[in-house]
Chain A
Amino acid sequence: MTALRRRHLLFRSLSTGALRASQSAPADAVPVHDPPLAPRDEAIFLLNIAAEVEHSLMVQYLFAAYSLRDPDQFASDKAALVRDWRKALGTVAREEMGHLITVQNLLRSLGAPLSLARDEFPMNTGFYPFAFRLEPLSKNSAAKYAFAEMPSIAAAEGIDGVSATEIADITKRADEDNTGQPVNRVGKLYEQLRTIVQSLPATDFSAGSVSQQARFDEWGLGQHDILILSVGKRSEALDALDKIAEQGEGPETAAAAADPNSHFQHFLSIYRQFPEDGSWQPAFNAVEDPNVLTSGAGADNLGEITQPEARLWAQLLNARYRRLLMTLRHALEIESPAPTDLNGTPRGLLLSWAFSEMYAIRSIAGLLFTLPATAAAGEKRTAAPPFEMPASLSLPTLEADRWRLQSSMLQSAEMIVASLITLPASRGAGFLKGMTEADTEAMQIANRVSSQ
């Protein structure tokens, strides 16, 4: 893992109020900025952490979903399970995406810059549920996800059909999967945010920013479980925080956690059904924390993908991920057209491009799991989608330059494609051809706009 930047954090005990430099009792501690921040400033600070948490969870859940093998290779009963898990993980990942987008709306409403970062803050803030880890789905990882989305242990044991023994096993497995560190409930972050937001004056929230915020109607594709909420005033901010917390980031009550659509129930089902006897392998034996860093031979980077074709596909996925993030940022900087305005804005095109990248990432991820991670003899691990963050998430100031960035990103991606298609018998020829056609169209548009 890349070394994370440090932030100015202290931990205040909820029971004593004492400030400490580290968490001695994570369940009791709430991170606070050192030195203290003005309320609005602190709200923005916490929203940045929230954005990272949502982004991290989304990517980890997506990875878990993609790591499942094709159902058609299993007998029908197991195939049905794998389909259900894929669907559940996909649903939860989409909902985390909704949370991420709503957090952007909260930031915009407070007049703060958007944040699509993912690894700016240390993991041990007490707000992150667990350390960021891209791993194939397993019983342990399912337990970890379930624990993170659980209400308190006492509340969880009050859910029909959930026993203390089961909760204890989930807790133990979750901690094991988190390299021995306890897994946190994410609810604390939103509790803290709520407290601060409630204290902010109404004038801190901008109704005028709503026209630039993401809207459900642009994003949700009719799936109302995806929470994309506009925030024009304080009450809407509080409502958004409550809804995000209720949907996934730590339900407060057993009743909420018992909801079959709750994240906890989704992960609980997977945990219960996932085999641990090795009788069948629902997930690929893939590298964990895949990456395409240049480590050098013999370096301690077990996740590095070095098989030539797989490495190129992994690099391509990173390029598409970069374009997804930057295009999303760009789209959210553009006003939405009025409902009756026949002359639109390019926001819709950018959103479509962002969706295109999501689909492309899905396709490339699926292909990566079919390729070996390294060219070493006897390599049993497959490659996997690295989802590495780009070097910069900064958006150029001038609109024309933002479109030049589009063109540059596409050209960079096509350079990787060009390398791929020169490989003998490379996979995905049809997909690459279509991608190039779509990229060419997009570049023409980007060049046209940037040349003005």
Chain B
Amino acid sequence: MPDIVEIRILPPLAIGRLGSSATPLENYTLEIANPVGYRSLVPAPTLVVDPVTGAIVSSTTPAAVSFRDAKGNIKPVCPFLEVWMLTAGAKTLAPLTLQALEDLGADETAVSWSVEVGNIKAFRRTGDPKDKITASTTAFNDHGSKSLQGKCANFKPGKSLPFGSVRYLKPTADFPQIRLRFTPASGKVYGPKTGDPNIAEDVYDETRGSWSKFRDGDPNAPASRPPSTEPGGIFANVRGVSRGYLDDECDGIVQVQVTLADKTLTAIARITCGPPSFAPDGLPIRSVADELEQVELGPAVSGPVPMAEVGSIVRRALETVRLMNTAALNSPSINNMANQDTGTGRAAEPIFDPSVVDALALRARHESVLLALNSRTMAWFSGVLRRYTEVGDLSNDGRRKMPGMMRGSDGSHLALTRRQASKVDAAALEIAPDPAPSNAGSDLTPTNLTAIFYHAQGNPPVAHPSSAISNAFPGLEMDFRNVWRRVFAGIILHEADNFVVDVEANASPKLRELIGQRLISVNGISVIGVLQGPTRAGGPVVSLPPNENAAANNPMVGKTNLEWSNCLADALRMQAKSVACIFVPEGGGPETKISLKVRPFFEAGTGVIKRELLQPGELTQSLCSPWQNDYRECSCYYWAASRPDYVNVEARADGTSAGHNWLQLNRNPGADKVYIIDDFTDQRLVTYEQLFRNWEHLLKFEIEGSDSE
């Protein structure tokens, strides 16, 4: 066998999903049997691991996919990570197997793993390094399960927070590839107080740490406290004061090392975990996979786009809209996008004409657009798409662009990634036939998209970045915005706003002066967009917020920050090169022009997000703490494919839709289908406390838009 020159772990980013069952979720595929119908969950070969030996004993296709075990506990998603090798002269990867190791004069013990994960949600708020909860393993090459016990300096003595486990699977003759499996935690809530019925264990020491006294916008906060997350206040609290709750999500880095006689090779991958996808037969309209594709290939496509790619965007829009109560989301009389726009000074008005927003009407409209792809033209669709620079256009026309009624990572109305939009533009000119299916395993190259999007054997679709939402405000499986914080060497940006929060160690005085300043352009491309809309119903479109007293040279007047993913997409084409950045002080002032180097996004030659961009725990640090809080209170409704809203929808006698709020408790078949508007004080809806204690058994999986259990 030729000499081995590199190794890789695939997939480069794997998502675990919480659940307390001892049985991992079966594998399945998502099949589209009907152009406008729901995807089907088709059971697929499932790798069964012997709990004693750690060996894969079979690959069995189950009769059905069930998300719960016999006790009703949710089966966690436990992704496999495979090791691949690149041999001398080869351009494609091959599996690293027992045989390959033998050919190299080694065996399975030459492979060792180490894992480092973290949950630093409390630290993100308090800024106290002792609030970081981290777990790591020493290097191991045996096949026992390695528990990831999160330790924290501000925990009570002897306490830890379990993040799940990892296991180096024993390779066998039947399953010879080198693999690791990550099993996430159960999804419990932890906190400081003994006897608190909401928590599994009191781990946090209130006498040491300030997390349980934390409040966003606290006037007495120390100067060292980091700026608030956006959105702020997304932690369990009582009248704004944190309850000190923590969850058992984590994210981090898995490293594999192969030690041969003459060399040692290493590779890394990232893992993260989030709640289950409760509508697993759909995918988010904008996902982490879309982000990674944009980073890898750039914001613009050239030439005709295959129908499947354009169809995917439209289908995901349909799958999202199907689970949203669009009539409720349209009216400014309740807490939703229409209402939240008024915070900018925009007049309170519905987003769309009320005639057209009933769920059944919008579903039919989206289905027909999907069907229209068959005519291979979507010219008009390009015209109604919101561009990333238009997210702050709160005029009637602006808010009615697509996607509608959803929130983007910048807190404004959602825009697709620029690459997604470019595909729609290209489809307006021409749609290409779909390419012939390829054998993905035969053309895996180290850096191309097939490696980034690789589906490891046995991993269900919800372990894949395509199932993770990326219009993060803050997100569910991860807050992808965090990858941009260190995109420019030397400075640290806010993940969700255009200002510098800190500089890296050993930063020059010139860079230190940038702390607190706002970045407004990169290589001449603005990273801020207009914020405008009418201040009275039917009135003219003006800058928002209306502020006649703002400093004339304040570039943020009438402007809003744009999400980094899109506005830095051009800069990402300049990785390892310098770009011209312009900063201005908060509130206005003279510009500072400075050249900064764009960090490479991926580890050299791999699809793994670079270590320098994200330390363990940083991918999830700005998510809700605990994540259950987000399920209860956010009316942003950008995540319907994972956290449904409007379920069991059917036509009323008058032709309009009727259905249930996914969080409402009484959904007996005989009950009148009345959608209870989201209100965290309404006891007819699942409460915070009920979620903390028993989310696993209260939240239902939705298949084809209806309760499946």
* Residues of A that sit less than 8 Å from B by CB: 70-72, 83, 86-87, 90, 215, 217-218, 221-224, 336-353, 355-356, 359-360, 362-363, 365-366, 403, 428, 430-431, 433-435, 437-438, 441-442, 444-445, 448-449, 452
Bound form: Cα–Cα A412–B653 in Å: 23
Q: Are A430 and B374 in contact (CB under 8 A)?
A: yes
Partner of B371, one of A83, A87, A359, A445: A359
Q: Are B374 and A347 in contact (CB under 8 A)?
A: no
Q: Are B656 and A363 in contact (CB under 8 A)?
A: no
Total cross-chain contacts (CB, 8 A): 168
Q: Which residue of B lies closest to A399 (CB)?
A: B654
Bound form: Cα–Cα A452–B349 in Å: 34
With A362-B377, A430-B35, A433-B35 as given contacts, are A351 and B371 in contact (CB-CB < 8 Å)? Answer: no
Bound form: Cα–Cα A430–B430 in Å: 19
Q: Are A355 and B380 in contact (CB under 8 A)?
A: no
Instruction: Give residues of chain B (245-288) contacting chain A, Cβ–Cβ below 8 Å.
Output: none
Partner of B355, one of A344, A428, A437: A344
Q: Please, which residues of chain B bring their CB within 8 A of the CB of A431?
A: 35, 371, 374
Partner of A428, one of B354, B374, B654: B374
Q: Which residue of B lies closest to A90 (CB)?
A: B379
Partner of A346, one of B327, B369, B396, B654: B654
Count B interface residues, CB 8 Å. 52
Tell me the interface secondary structure of chain A in the complex.
helix
Is B296 in contact with chain A by the CB < 8 A criterion?
Answer: no
Instruction: Give residues of chain B (293-340) contacting chain A, Cβ–Cβ below 8 Å.
Output: 304, 327-328, 331-333
Bound form: Cα–Cα A433–B371 in Å: 10
With A218-B355, A340-B333 as given contacts, are A349 and B327 in contact (CB-CB < 8 Å)? Answer: no
Q: Please, which residues of chain A bring their CB within 8 A of the CB of B396?
A: 217
With A342-B331, A352-B365 as given contacts, are A347 and B355 in contact (CB-CB < 8 Å)? Answer: yes
Bound form: Cα–Cα A350–B655 in Å: 9
With A338-B354, A363-B371 as given contacts, are A344 and B656 in contact (CB-CB < 8 Å)? Answer: yes
Q: Are B35 and A437 in contact (CB under 8 A)?
A: yes
With A363-B372, A437-B34 as given contacts, are A337 and B365 in contact (CB-CB < 8 Å)? Answer: no
Which of the listed residues A71, A90, A365, A448 has the most CB atoms from chain B within 10 Å of its own CB?
Answer: A448
Instruction: Give residues of chain B (630-656) contacting chain A, Cβ–Cβ below 8 Å.
Output: 650-656
Is B356 in contact with chain A by the CB < 8 A criterion?
Answer: yes
- 26 CB contacts below 8 A, A to B, read A87-B379, A217-B353, A217-B356, A218-B355, A221-B384, A337-B354, A339-B331, A340-B332, A340-B350, A341-B331, A344-B358, A345-B654, A345-B656, A349-B358, A349-B656, A355-B368, A356-B371, A363-B374, A363-B375, A431-B371, A431-B374, A433-B35, A434-B37, A449-B653, A449-B654, A449-B655
Is B579 in contact with chain A by the CB < 8 A criterion?
Answer: no
Q: Please, which residues of chain A bring their CB within 8 A of the CB of B651?
A: 444-445, 448-449
Is B357 in contact with chain A by the CB < 8 A criterion?
Answer: yes
With A72-B304, A346-B656, A363-B374 as given contacts, are A339 and B349 in contact (CB-CB < 8 Å)? Answer: yes
Q: Please, which residues of chain A bring their CB within 8 A of the CB of B327?
A: 342-344
Bound form: Cα–Cα A336–B652 in Å: 17
Partner of A339, one of B34, B350, B364, B368: B350
Partner of A336, one of B332, B355, B369, B377: B355
Q: Are B356 and A218 in contact (CB under 8 A)?
A: yes
Bound form: Cα–Cα A439–B350 in Å: 30
Q: Which residue of A lies closest to B429 (CB)?
A: A83
A222 shortest CB reach to chain B, Å: 5
Partner of B364, one of A336, A343, A428, A438: A438
Q: Give 9 closest A-B pairs by Cβ, nearest first.
A: A346-B655, A434-B35, A356-B368, A348-B361, A217-B353, A359-B372, A363-B375, A352-B364, A452-B653
Is B424 in contact with chain A by the CB < 8 A criterion?
Answer: no
Q: Which residue of A lies closest to B537 (CB)?
A: A339
A425 shortest CB reach to chain B, Å: 17
Q: Please, which residues of chain B bring their CB within 8 A of the CB of A448?
A: 650-653, 655
Bound form: Cα–Cα A345–B368 in Å: 20
Q: A218-B355, A438-B367 are in contact. List 18 more A-B contacts (CB 8 A).
A: A70-B376, A218-B356, A340-B350, A340-B354, A342-B677, A344-B327, A349-B655, A351-B361, A352-B356, A359-B368, A359-B375, A362-B372, A403-B655, A434-B34, A434-B367, A438-B364, A448-B650, A449-B653
Is B362 in contact with chain A by the CB < 8 A criterion?
Answer: yes
Is B106 in contact with chain A by the CB < 8 A criterion?
Answer: no
Q: Are B355 and A352 in contact (CB under 8 A)?
A: no
Q: Which residue of B lies closest to A452 (CB)?
A: B653
B368 shortest CB reach to chain A, Å: 4
With A339-B349, A344-B327 as given contacts, are A351 and B35 in contact (CB-CB < 8 Å)? Answer: no
Q: Please, which residues of chain A bring their CB within 8 A of the CB of B371?
A: 356, 359-360, 363, 431, 434-435, 438
Bound form: Cα–Cα A70–B397 in Å: 32
Interface string of B362-405 (1 = CB under 8 A from A): 10110111111011110110011000000000001100110000
Is B623 in contact with chain A by the CB < 8 A criterion?
Answer: no
Q: Are B355 and A221 in contact (CB under 8 A)?
A: no
B401 shortest CB reach to chain A, Å: 7
Q: Please, which residues of chain A bring their CB within 8 A of the CB of B365?
A: 352, 355-356
